[in-house]
Each structure stands twice: as structure tokens, then as C-alpha cells.
Amino acid sequence: MVSAALRARVDEAIEDLGYVRNQLASSLASTRTGLVGVVVPSLTNGVFADYLASIHDQMHPLGLQVMVLNARYSAETEERAIATLVGHHVEAMIVTGIDQTEKSRLLLRQSRVPVVQTMELCDQPLDLNLGLSQYEAGFAATRHLMSLGNKRIGHLSARLDPRSRRRHLGYVAALRKAKRSAGPLVASTPRPSTVSIGAELFRELIEKAPDLDAIFCCNDDLALGALFECQRRGIRVPEQVSILGFNDLEFSAQSCPAISSVATPRSEIGKAAARLVIEIIRGSGRRPTERRIDFGYRIIDRESTIKRL
């Protein structure tokens, strides 16, 4: 709307003054904020680092800014995070999991923006749902260890967030289907998951069940801790105890021996969630016909598991 010469003068003044546009005023005038809200349960868990990187990679080239808030594995903190993002008039919301409180669900519905629930699957999503069945993954992981000839399969879990609990339920269901009982083969803690906690839980488990021949860990941190504890005790992996982790973080393939794991497509889920949001708010504006997409999982056998005779 102005000449090139005047535009150049304006740009020069902006540079000299360090002027920053008032984003709130601009959003009121345009009804667009250019903001997309994302809520994750952790900013230190490597699973969500990969996931967030994929979302950022899709959003930034289009000038969309991602506002990330940490729910800290707390339903109440997640409520406050969602309320904060709604208050900033984000154009879309991407949340982790499907277990939002009634208040959170109400806030998301009333926001009238696209909402993508990720990393898990549910029968009745709020809007869009991309993920995998944590229950089925836990079930399949346990069945896989059975198929390798393991008889006494233990389970380690920490944090006990909804996804971990569903993996545990899958583990229990697989044992029941095979007419086996978990009994003393479970060690868990509500504390945050770490490598040292994995070692601690394995010590607890091996003392209760010295005859166990495999363990399914609810994440790779615990699996690595269990591996280290086996090495300290002179327990040969996988000859005496097989170890299967979950999420397939980078260190799993690089450990010695390399840790078998259930690979979850977190980067692909993040990328797909971002693309769906972009298509709705910057494209056609229409929701896709398929609102629930199962990305599945893969069981990757490495050196920490073995076929028993």
C-alpha cells in the first residue's frame, strides 16, 4: 500500500529503533495470532524431544509459533496449561494423551479451535486423535518375550502415568491369556523414571524372583538401568535374563549389549499432528474424514533378547 522507497524508510526506522510489533493488537485486528499451543507431560523426556522437534519443523517455515507448556505429569497442571494457552488465543491445540480432566475437556471444546490428542488412541476423541494403543503394545511386547521361550517374565514400571499403566495392563493380560500369573514379577514406583530407578527396581525384582528369565520395562531408561545392574551382578544378558524396553530411544541401539525395544513413531505422530493443524487453520479449514489414526508400533530385537531353546 506504500511505495518501495517509503517501505525501505520504514524498514530502516524499524531496524534503528528495535521496534517489535504488538502481537496482541495485531491478533485483535486480524483475528489470527499465529500461535499453536502444545502441552506435553515432560520437557526432559527424550520421547517428547523428538515429538516437539517434528512439530516445530512443520510450523516454523509457515511463520507459526509453537507455545509449549509442561504439564509435569499432573492433571491439574495440564488444566492450567490448557487455560493459559486458550487465554493466549492459540489457533490450534496439540495435547499429549487422552486422559484430560473434565475441566480440561470443557476448555478445549469451548476454545472452538482444532484439538489433536496424540500418543494414545481413544474411541471418542475430542476432535482429532493420532497415536498408538499403549495397551496393545504392552500386550504384544509380553507375548513377544513368550514367543522367544521365556517362562518367567517380569515387569518394571515407574512414574505410573496413564500410558505406563496401560502398558502394564497389556503385560498382565498377556500373562493371563497364557495362564500365567504376574505374582512377584512386578516392581514399580510412582517416582520419576530414571536409569538409576531402573537399577533399583531390578534389584527389588531379582530378590523377589531370582528365577526370572526376562523383563519387559515400561521405558528404555528403566531397561538401561536394569542392564547396568545385571552387569554389576554378573548376570549375563541375554543368556540368563532378556531385557525389552519401550520407545526405542537412541541409546538403546548404542548400549552394550544393544537393548531390544518397542519402537513408537513419536516423530511421525508429531509431524502428522502439525500437518493436520496447518491444513485446517491455513488450508481448507475442514477436518479430515478419518479423525482417529493408529500409527502402530514395532518390536525391534537386538542383543538383549535371545531365542531360548
Using DSSP, state whether 253 is helix, strand or coil.
helix
pLDDT surpasses 60 at 275: yes
Mean pLDDT for the stretch of residues 213-228 = 98
Residue 30: per-residue pLDDT: 47
DSSP string, 130-144: EE--HHHHHHHHHHH
Calculate ∠ Cα 247-252-254, nearest 5°. Answer: 150
By 3-state DSSP, what share of the chain in percent is helix, strand and coil, each rounded to 5? 45, 20, 35
Amino acid at 157: S
| CATH match of 134-263 with 3.20.10.10 | no
CATH number (3.10.150.10, 3.40.50.2300, 3.40.50.11310, 3.30.930.10) of 22-132+266-296 reads 3.40.50.2300
Q: Which residues have CB under 8 Å from 29's CB, separation 6+?
A: none
In terms of phi and psi (left: phi > 0; alpha: psi -120 to 50; beta: otherwise), the region of 285 is left
Spans of all domains in the chain = 22-132+266-296, 134-263
| The three cell numbers locating residue 109 | 471444546
Instruction: Give the model confidence (pLDDT) of 33-90 as tens digits.
Output: 899 999 999 998 889 999 999 999 999 999 999 999 999 999 999 999 999 999 999 9
- Asked whether this chain's domains 22-132+266-296 and 134-263 adopt the same fold, the reply is yes
Q: How far apart are CA 183 and CA 144, in angstroms?
A: 20
pTM of the model: 0.88
Of 14-28, 48-62, 200-214, 221-235, which range is least confident?
14-28
Residue 21: per-residue pLDDT: 66
